[in-house]
């Protein structure tokens, strides 16, 4: 297999213009995404590679930082792995970091277009924290089948802000989560998909083959909270301020609370952010 990335981004739907991108998020978003992927990678990977036959093919749809695609290629050197993302900046970064792995390749493409010409359908595919940024998740699920051979398996992994637990719970925390969800819906997406994955799969005409909930130890999440979750809060707070989508007093209350967590003036003792994983087949 050749190395590096396919040429040029391709998109063909209304989600493309609203897609979550590294450039759009700004700051050190590429590094944050890498850290986020690494947190649960050890628990995600065994189940993903279990569904891959010897000498099979795997495609990570919405590969982002490239961490997951690289991990699959690393632990299964017999498998040919692709990572496709709608964000050309993410593809360029992943290709730069992981492009020397001989069984791994990255390309820029909108998943709803189906695979590029000459792409041989995969045995397994993954949509990890992708559907939450898409305004038509059912259509995306149906399109994902175009990337798979008959009998192929699609893995879906999503969080759900309704299931985030922190203790002690700051009085402004629910307002922050509500703000993030409202802005996500306005952008075209949904931060409450984790608990609804099976319903989405059923609506798309898919067959649920397995389900699980990945829960990390609180101490792991506590250590990562300031570098993974709080930058996300900053992103949404900045967007709310620019769009004047929230009363100033409420925005300042949330902003001051997030800053107190950053500075250590307010400390959490417990954090739970579950990751929902189902894998599905196509009729």
Helix then strand then coil, % of the chain, to nearest 5: 50, 20, 30
Give mean pLDDT, residues 254-260: 97
Backbone angles phi, psi at 74, to 5 degrees: -75, -45
pLDDT tier at 118, thresholds 50, 70, 90? very high
Share of the chain above pLDDT 90, in %: 76
Q: Is 156 strand, coil or helix?
A: strand
Mean pLDDT of 239-252: 91
Query: What are the pLDDT digits (tens) for 74-115?
Result: 999 999 999 999 999 999 999 999 988 999 999 999 999 999
The predicted pLDDT at position 227 comes to 83
- Please provide the DSSP assignment of 171-232 as one string: TTHHHHHHHHHHHHHHHS--TT-GGGHHHHHHHTTEEEEEEEEE---HHHHHHHHHHHHHHH
pLDDT at 22 over 90: no
C-alpha angle 126-131-137 in degrees, rounded to nearest 5: 110
Nearest to 131 by CA among 153, 152, 154: 154
Fold annotation for 16-162+189-216+272-282: Rossmann fold (3.40.50)
The pLDDT mean for the chain works out to 89
CB atoms within 10 A of CB 217: 10
Whole-number CA gyration radius for the chain: 19
pLDDT of residue 17 exceeding 50: no
115 secondary structure, DSSP code: S
State the pLDDT at residue 25: 47
Average pLDDT of the residues in 16-28: 48
- Residue 44 and residue 123: Cα distance in Å, rounded? 17
């Amino acid at each position: 297999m050749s190395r590096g990335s396919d040429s040029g981004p391709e998109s063909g739907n209304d989600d493309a213009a609203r897609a979550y991108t590294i450039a759009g998020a700004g700051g050190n978003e590429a590094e944050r995404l890498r850290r986020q992927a690494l947190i649960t990678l050890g628990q995600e990977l065994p189940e993903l590679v279990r569904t891959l036959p010897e000498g099979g093919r795997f495609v990570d749809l919405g590969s982002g930082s490239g961490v997951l695609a690289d991990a699959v290629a690393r632990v299964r050197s017999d498998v040919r792995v692709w990572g496709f993302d709608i964000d050309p900046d993410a593809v360029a970064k992943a290709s730069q970091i992981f492009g020397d792995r001989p069984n791994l390749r990255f390309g820029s493409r909108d998943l709803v277009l189906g695979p590029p010409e000459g792409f041989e359908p995969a045995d397994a595919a993954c949509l990890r924290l992708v559907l939450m940024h898409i305004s038509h998740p059912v259509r995306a699920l149906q399109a994902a089948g175009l990337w798979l051979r008959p009998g192929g398996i699609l893995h879906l992994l999503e969080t759900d802000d309704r299931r985030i637990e922190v203790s002690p719970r700051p009085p402004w925390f629910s307002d922050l989560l509500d703000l993030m969800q409202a802005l996500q819906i306005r952008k075209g997406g949904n931060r409450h998909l984790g608990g609804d994955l099976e319903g989405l799969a059923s609506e798309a005409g898919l067959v649920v083959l397995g389900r699980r909930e990945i829960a990390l130890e609180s101490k792991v999440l506590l250590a990562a909270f300031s570098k993974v979750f709080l930058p996300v809060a900053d992103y949404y707070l900045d967007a709310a301020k620019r769009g004047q989508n929230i009363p100033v007093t409420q925005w300042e209350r949330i902003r001051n609370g997030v800053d107190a967590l950053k500075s250590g003036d307010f400390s959490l003792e417990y954090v739970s952010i579950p990751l929902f994983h189902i894998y599905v087949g196509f009729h």
